[in-house]
Amino acid sequence: QLQLAESGGGSVQAGGSLRLSCVASGRAFAAYTVGWFRQAPGKEREFVATISWSGANTDTSDSVKGRFTVRRDIHQNAVHLQMNNLKSEDTAVYYCAAVHGSSATVAKSASEYDYWGQGTQVTVAS
């Protein structure tokens, strides 16, 4: 089965940037739709971004649109989430997830994903 590992989290001041990475093992990341989700304490897990396995199609939530960018690197077997202009409300544990899909498929619902990483903490100071 596919295994996922997130990295790149940390603490940053509001307005700063972080780059998260999701590295796959066990299988090639090709042929998997990938999503990023986040969960703050006491909050529901929410969609952040998704990318099709071809890398051609992406989508982001309204709350991060224009600030976050998701990109796939097939040769690194990784998907990256570039987060710019971070806000305090972005503070959460960020998870990557994957599901087998068609080349153009993106997915925004957590229930659609079969594989999940352990998460990486992002803390944004006011």
Token couple for 106: 């993106």
- 13-53 pLDDT, tens digit per residue, is 999 999 999 999 987 777 899 999 999 999 999 999 999 98
Residue-level pLDDT at 76: 87
* Segment 103-124 mean pLDDT: 94
Residue-level pLDDT at 28: 75
Residue-level pLDDT at 59: 96
Residue 3 CB-half CA count within 13 A = 3
47: left (phi over 0), alpha (psi -120 to 50) or beta: beta
Token couple for 67: 């600030």
Query: 92-100 and 115-116: which strand pairing?
Result: antiparallel
Alpha carbon distance 95, 36 (integer Å): 6
Q: Cα–Cα–Cα angle for 22, 50, 116, nearest 5°?
A: 45
Alpha carbon distance 36, 106 (integer Å): 11
- State the average pLDDT for the chain: 94
- DSSP class of 27: S
- DSSP class of 74: T
